[in-house]
Amino acid sequence: MTRRVAVVAGGHSKFGKRYDATMRELCAEAYKPVYDAGITQDRIDATVLSYAASQFTGQGAGSALMADSIGLQEKPHLRVESACATGTASIRAAYGMVASGLYDVMLVLGVEQMNRVSSATATEYMSRAGDMRWEYPYGISFPAFYALMASRYMAEYNLPHDVLSMISVKSHHYGAQNPKAHLPKEVSFEEANNAVPICRPLNLYDCSLITDGAAAVVLVAEPRVKEFTDQPMWIKGMGAGASEMMIQDRPSLTSIPGAKRAAKAAYKMAGLQPKDINMAEVHDCFSIAELIAYEDLGFAEPGKGRQLIENKEVYHTGRIPVNCDGGLKSKGHPLGATGVSMTYEVLSQMRKKAEKPTRQIKDVKYGLVHNVGQSGQFVNVIIYERGW
């Protein structure tokens, strides 16, 4: 029989262009709040490093480096890689080991340092996650993949770009209130809607950031949770899904099939429905991705996700608050750290520790994390439950 597993603590570095820190220092910065909460190295049984792309720094054997940097070099450690969904894949891996009884206490630490290369080089590295025979050689980058989705969605549902700009405005509204965000600045609708094109119909404010940063969470088995906290966040449901490698092979570009499969599995395991969720952290690598996520997760019917942003139902006082930390768009997207950062945000919101009352969600019992790798080839959805 599997054991219940809770998230008991978390830590988070400042996201941004962190030329002031090495990968080692980012790991230490994320672990420090965990250490300060009393979860010292001797209390951790093993670690998982969420580290998506070693080509940015050239650093191989990342889990050994991470373990060294925070004083866990004698504990078992491993690295997980699942593109942009590496953070939640790492949490899934740790969950399985703790639930099975292999370990009682595990640290999951996500890190990426993407700004040690130029933006052009970073874009090329990420483009290589597309099909190397039929996509990458023809110049398709990830802005292009999501531009194809946006173009199809806009044509099929008569969606104006204005709606995507509303999502960008929301992201920056909350990112401006998050001291850990990469780009903490408000953006007007006019600025967002009229920004320089990146890959039409997507412009500068439709695209997430190339970010450095780290985040950490600690998972503990139920019999020992009370040793660590009286405010545990239980893993209630978990689902994983996959989609075709080449998007030309998919039946639709207005949805991500793997996300729908992952959400269905997570809801089933949790015994919940979309209407039960009090907040969501969704993978808004591009503004269209957030809009599609509203529908893939069941918060809106196909083609009607626009109503959630138009009516401000996804703001912190709305029916289903989404990305009230700024999301990937404003908080930033350090690949391996992203899914861990999302989980950290749900824990912070449940404990009412959002940095500003103007982004604090009133009452979170169930929080959902939606983490997408590539253009949907890897997707994880995790539902968390407040345990107090």
pLDDT in tens, 215-274: 999 999 999 999 999 999 999 999 999 999 999 999 999 999 999 999 999 999 999 999
Q: Tell me if residue 370 is catalytic.
A: no
In this predicted structure, what is the pLDDT of residue 297? Answer: 98
Label residue 131 by pLDDT band (50, 70, 90): confident
User: Residue 188: left (phi > 0), alpha (psi -120 to 50), or beta?
Assistant: beta
In this predicted structure, what is the pLDDT of residue 216? Answer: 98
Q: Tell me if residue 283 is catalytic.
A: no
Burial-class residue 321 by CB neighbours within 10 Å (0-12, 13-18, 19+).
buried
In a domain, 222, yes or no: yes
**Please, where are the H alpha helices in 56-179?**
62-69, 86-100, 119-127, 142-157, 161-175
Percent of the chain with pLDDT over 70: 100
- Name 127's Cβ contacts closer than 8 Å, sequence gap at least 6: 136, 140, 141, 142
In a domain, 376, yes or no: no
83: domain CATH number is: 3.40.47.10
Which residue range forms the structural domain that includes residue 52?
5-117+210-227
CA 378 to chain centroid, in Å, comes to 12
Percent of the chain with pLDDT over 90: 93
The residue from 12, 173, 333, 370 that is catalytic is 333
Which residue, 47, 105, 94, 38, is CA-closest to 73?
A: 47
Stretch 304-333: mean pLDDT, rounded?
A: 98
Label residue 138 by pLDDT band (50, 70, 90): confident
In a domain, 240, yes or no: no
In this predicted structure, what is the pLDDT of residue 224? Answer: 98
Tally of CA atoms within 13 A in the half-sphere of 193 that contains its CB: 9
CA 60 to chain centroid, in Å, comes to 23
In a domain, 23, yes or no: yes
In a domain, 237, yes or no: no
CA distance 364 to 346: 8
In a domain, 218, yes or no: yes
> What's the token pair of residue 71?
């004083």
Tens digit of pLDDT for each residue in 192-221?
A: 999 999 999 999 999 999 999 999 999 999
Mapped onto helix, strand or coil, the DSSP state of residue 368 is: strand
Tens digit of pLDDT for each residue in 72-129?
A: 999 999 999 999 999 999 999 999 999 999 999 999 999 999 999 998 899 898 988 8
Residues in the chain: 388
Tell me the pLDDT of the chain averaged across its residues: 97
CA distance 188 to 54: 36
The residue from 12, 77, 84, 285 that is catalytic is 84
In a domain, 38, yes or no: yes
Tens digit of pLDDT for each residue in 155-166?
A: 999 999 999 999
CA 5 to chain centroid, in Å, comes to 20
How many distinct structural domains can be found in the chain? 1
- Name 96's Cβ contacts closer than 8 Å, sequence gap at least 6: none
In a domain, 168, yes or no: no
Tens digit of pLDDT for each residue in 39-65?
A: 999 999 999 999 999 999 999 989 999
In this predicted structure, the answer to whether residue 1 has a pLDDT above a threshold of 70 is no
